[in-house]
Copies of this chain bind each other. A is one copy, B any other.
Amino acid sequence: MHHTMVPSDRVEHVAVHSWDGAKLGIIERLMLDKVSGTVAYAVIKTGGLLGSHHHYPILWSALKYDAKRQVFETELTMRELRAGPSEFDDETFDWGDRTRSYPHPHYWTV
């Protein structure tokens, strides 16, 4: 049966690759806009030195599922991801804060 629904728990923990083939990380969680009922963005958890992790927001619309490889693809590169906002493990980054402005055009344009 062909349809366009996907369960949230089959999106979480799926790998995200850059268009250049590099693995950026995995989808840690989705951020939902309660009022509009939309998926605003995904939080990507990247691997790091000594088991530490960075957490980056990527717009949901910037992620494309590749069914063959079973990964999400994005046009962002790791370099671009690193240039944007992020959280480092237990920091209390406010993901929903829209009063901040972020440099990358893929963010916050929902």
Contacts and interface: CB of A to CB of B under 8 A. Distances in A.
A50 B6 CA distance: 29
Interface in A1-24: 1, 3-9, 11-12
Main secondary structure, interface of A, reads mixed
Q: How many copies does the complex hold?
A: 2
Interface in A54-110: 60-61, 65, 94-98
Given A37-B38, A37-B60, A32 B8 contact: yes
A29 B4 contact: no
Contacts of A9: 12, 29
14 contacts: A1-B94, A3-B96, A6-B31, A7-B30, A7-B31, A7-B32, A7-B95, A8-B31, A8-B32, A11-B32, A34-B65, A37-B39, A37-B60, A38-B39
